[in-house]
Amino acid sequence: MSLKTHTIWMAGAGLFFLVYLLAPFNWFIQVESIEYSDMCIGDTKQTVTTNRHAVWDISGEADTLLIFYTDDNLRIETDIRRSSTFTYESDIKDVEFEVEWDKPVTRAGKYGVQSTEIIYPLWFWPIRIFNPAEERTFNVIDCI
């Protein structure tokens, strides 16, 4: 192999490696909106409505945590969590699904959903995104 060919192969491999490391989530999944329904104290189930588009069917996983906000906007992490695996389907844009949290919410107020999602556009290629709780808020109310 000549030096020129070797240099071209190395540059190509380096470029692929950079794309592998730095490719953003929204190259593969474009999330237009996501809304979490309000919940009642004691509930563990919640409806989520989202509008998103995937370039092709992509598998993923998420670890999610509920954040409680006090009246003076202090963030308090709860021990209410959820882990899931799923597939973003390319032919479905508007999706409504039900989330089941591992414990019931016990306090009324404003909450946010904080999550770390990992998608696999190709089986060997994980892409991570962090979604802060401030972007995905809902209320827990006393329904009695």
User: Each residue of 85-134: pLDDT tens digit?
Assistant: 999 999 888 999 999 999 999 999 999 999 999 999 888 889 999 999 88
Distance CA 62, CA 32 (A): 18
User: Each residue of 46-95: pLDDT tens digit?
Assistant: 999 999 999 999 999 999 988 888 778 788 888 899 999 999 999 888 99
pTM as predicted: 0.80
- Which H or E run includes 6? helix 3-22
- With beta carbons less than 8 A apart as the criterion, state whether 127 and 121 touch: yes
User: Each residue of 14-43: pLDDT tens digit?
Assistant: 777 776 667 788 888 999 999 999 999 999
Domains of the chain: 25-141 (2.60.40.3930)
pLDDT value of position 50: 93
- Cβ–Cβ contacts within 10 Å for residue 41, how many? 15
User: Computed from CA positions of residues 27, 89, 127, 122, in that sequence, does the dihedral angle turn out positive or negative?
Assistant: negative
